[in-house]
Amino acid sequence: PIQVIRILMDNGVMANINQMVDFDTAAIVASELGFEAKLEVHEVEEEKETGEVPLWRQLIAKEDPRFLQPRPPVVTILGHVDHGKTTLLDAIRHTNVAAGEAGGITQHIGAYQVEHKGRLITFLDTPGHAAFTAMRSRGAQGADIVVLVVAANDGVMPQTREAIAHARAARVPIIVALNKIDRPDANPDFTKRQLAEVGLVPDEWGGNTIVVPVSAKLKQGIEDLLEAILLVSDSLDIKANPNGQVFGTVIEAKIDRARGVVATLLVYNGTLEAGDIVVAGTAYGRIRAMFDFRGRKLRKAGPSTPVQVMGLNEVPDAGELFRVYANEREARQVVEERLLQRQQRRQALPKASLEDLFSKVQAGETQELRLIIKADVQGSLEPIISSLNDLSKESEIRINILHAETGNVSESDVMLASASHAIILGFNVQADHAARRLAESEGVSIRLYDVIYRLTEDIEKALKGMLEPME
């Protein structure tokens, strides 16, 4: 290793022993040591999202443009809690079932389609209770268009802004559904001004955001909204190759006692058929049966079609990309390779832990300690935060409290910690079972305390590099 690091340094790369280097760099080192490096290309390697452009879109871009055909737009509805997302999704579902299908469509499989003027629109029906940021961001990542629901009596709220940020990050255009206009306290003009302030200038004011007044409750304005969606679709390049590679996204999945693993898949490209061998993450299997959102048996599903399938061997993660493979052996090989990679990744995971904070600071790898704090009551959060801030002032290492809230350590805390390399501190709280499991697989450290003094003492020691590993 020392020899490798020395050669890297001679070539101007200051690498430590755990660092990844790109292939070209590795090839130079190899040749200086008298070896020839060969690049091994793994399918798994390729399946990484680059930047914010979702993988499925990158994959469609690789299809031969001559074979691309228009496909229905995929729409997701985002907005602040209680602004009417669920009601709007239901209103759309019921007023606009594909011609002559009214009634009898009560299944929730996570996505559905409606017909407007002879054209299909696919709606992602993310659960209304989904408090997870990750889930909302996934919605925007999977869609061609975001419908942002803003209640005209309440205006732009924190989750409205968050939804806008998600849509922008995923580079997905926004249509505003100005909801609850039936309410006597609705103030559309005020809300539009607020929207303009956050960069969504209504088209009637010379901007380029379509704002459609609706009442989800009274089912008013729904046709106008669908019209707007088709209008925006026409200005975008919403295409796929129905005869190309078959891939799409897992919308949701669960275990059904009678039917085994039941997953909703949204096909983005190609045509999925019953009997196909599908791999999603580390789940795989032959599709035994396939149904549309009305619960009707389906043999084939083309681009933008949501389907419920049975036959996978385990529950895949929502948001995971799925692909069709030629045979079961190939599918199993891909899955085995992924399992191996996952295991290796886990072992090599740079866990953010208090114990190694100091050495990381010394190695110049970090300058701050990022924390997420959960406590039983607001009254305990305040003294914890203020003593941590005091410690931060005395130390070279900055303490950055990313998030402080009352309540048990939840899965979304762990997701945040994992994404931001933070440590979770809990005071007089527990970690949910799901949170503990996720923390383990993501390598996130959760430390629980029941005495404030012990908590601050540990942090103080960690800042000085004097913390002994926890038993």
Between 172 and 178, CB nearer to ligand GDP: 178
x/- letters, 86..125, toward ligand GDP (CB under 6 A): xx--------------------------------------
Instruction: State which of residues 82, 115, 223, 457 lies at the interface with ligand GDP (CB under 6 A).
Output: 82
Between 143 and 352, CB nearer to ligand GDP: 143
Count of other CB atoms within 10 angstroms of residue 354: 20
Nearest Cα to Cα of residue 178 among 115, 88, 89, 86: 88
Q: How many residues bind ligand GDP (CB under 6 A)?
A: 16
Using an 8 Å Cβ cutoff, are 444 and 414 in contact?
yes
Q: What is the helix (H) or strand (E) element at residue 265, kind and residue range?
A: strand 260-269
CA 307, 312, 314, 318: dihedral to nearest 10 degrees? -20
Written as six digits, the tokens of 297 are: 């048996």
Min dist CB 442 to ligand GDP, Å, is 29
End-to-end Cα distance, the chain: 31
Q: Which stretch binds ligand GDP (CB under 6 A): 83-91, 107-115, 223-231, 333-341?
A: 83-91
81 binds ligand GDP (CB under 6 A): yes
Min dist CB 138 to ligand GDP, Å, is 17
- Scanning residues 145 to 184, which ones bind ligand GDP (CB under 6 A)? 179-180, 182-183
> What distance in Å separates the CA atoms of residue 33 and residue 153, rounded to the nearest whole number?
70
Instruction: State which of residues 143, 148, 172, 216 lies at the interface with ligand GDP (CB under 6 A).
Output: 216
Bridge-based pairing of strands 300-301 and 272-273 is antiparallel
Bridge-based pairing of strands 174-179 and 211-213 is parallel
Instruction: State which of residues 72, 84, 244, 311 lies at the interface with ligand GDP (CB under 6 A).
Output: 84
Min dist CB 79 to ligand GDP, Å, is 6
Count of other CB atoms within 10 angstroms of residue 350: 11
Between 218 and 451, CB nearer to ligand GDP: 218
> What distance in Å separates the CA atoms of residue 351 and residue 19, rounded to the nearest whole number?
14
Q: Which stretch binds ligand GDP (CB under 6 A): 79-87, 270-278, 352-360, 428-436?
A: 79-87
207 binds ligand GDP (CB under 6 A): no
Residue carrying structure tokens 């992924």: 338
Beta-bridge partners for 79: 149
Bridge-based pairing of strands 300-301 and 423-427 is unpaired
Between 222 and 290, CB nearer to ligand GDP: 222
Min dist CB 323 to ligand GDP, Å, is 32
Provide the binding-site residues for ligand GDP, judged by CB under 6 A.
Answer: 79, 81-87, 128, 179-180, 182-183, 215-217
